[in-house]
Amino acid sequence: MRNVDSPPEPSTKDGPARKSAVFDRWVSRYLDHLVLVAGRSANTLAAYRRDLGRYAAFCVDHGVSDPRAIQPPQVSEFLASLTASGLAPASVARCLSAVKNFHRYLVRQDEAKQNPARPIKTPRLPRKLPDVLSVRQMQLLLEQPGESDPHHLRDRAILATLYGCGLRVSEAAGLAVDDIDFSAGFVRVRGKGNKERLVPFGPSTQRALRRYLDSPARRDADSGARDHVFLSQKGGPLSRMGLWLIVRRYALRAGLGERVHPHTFRHSFATHLIESGADLRAVQLMLGHQSVATTQIYTHLDRQHLRRMHTAYHPLESGFRSRK
């Protein structure tokens, strides 16, 4: 079965999509700009390259070989083709964002007078609430790694840091020893766009990190990788995939199934803070969200928690529990 997020490249009656040297040159220049000026991550760059490749192929196949000559109807037709090919709404929205930013770049370079994608509205996406573990489930998960060897100490530190600081998987994998300030109880995190923020951590996270970093195997690691906090069994920096597999292994061991991934820790971190009365602005800063609107999704989860508490404990809703 074809992956709906990977539709076939546009084609014509004469065969595969044609390419345009002019189009490719401007896309390459824009991608260079994302790296050198905007400081975008490798993941963002790969997504933009893929989406703009689709866009270029579509435009050239429809007779437009220069992106500076594109008009709004052609952008709309491109989005319609993505939807017709079965691409998910979130992926269509991501493509539109890439196209808008690409044309905005051309305008700012004085190579185009208008952004043909600007009038196009982003498809409305269904608001999906993230998976969140309960406090009890999270405690069970954190207790899964043993303490019999250094790798177990590492895994305990990984789980504690993900939940204790609400880090993204890339942020945890890229954490350096110098980023941890044990005396102040803060960790310096490099998030999206290479933006830095300070996130506090508590005693339990501190204990897990200290025990791991002070372990003999960790101290004897290769000097070239020792600056990284989390190392693989071979002694090199732990990759994002390696970290993801560690989380999955312990989630399965805890009986929580395959729905748990590193981002589940981040969602649970934010939700549990808000349920306990934390200020929304403070949670925004700890998560590194640019807008508080992004953080507000966790207030929806908090309302769900309140509704469950109301149903469980209000006498009318809980069936008039007998009082003795």
Q: Which residue of the set 100, 152, 210, 263 is catalytic?
A: 263
Residue 151 known to be catalytic? no
| Residue 2 φ then ψ, to 5° | -75, 140
Q: Which residue of the set 154, 168, 218, 267 is catalytic?
A: 168
Residue 40 known to be catalytic? no
- Please provide the size of the chain in residues: 324
The DSSP-derived string for 150-201 is: HHHHHHHHHHHHHHHH---HHHHHT-BGGGEETTTTEEEEE-GGG-EEEEE-
Q: Which residue of the set 103, 154, 228, 266 is catalytic?
A: 266
Q: Which residue of the set 68, 100, 192, 305 is catalytic?
A: 192
Helices (H), the chain: 21-36, 42-61, 72-84, 89-108, 135-142, 150-165, 169-173, 203-213, 216-219, 240-253, 262-275, 280-287, 292-295, 297-313
Give the C-alpha separation, 109 to 90, whole Å: 29
Residue 266 known to be catalytic? yes
Phi-psi region at 63: left, alpha or beta (left = phi > 0; alpha = psi -120 to 50) = left
Residue 192 known to be catalytic? yes
Residues tagged active-site: 168, 192, 263, 266, 289, 298
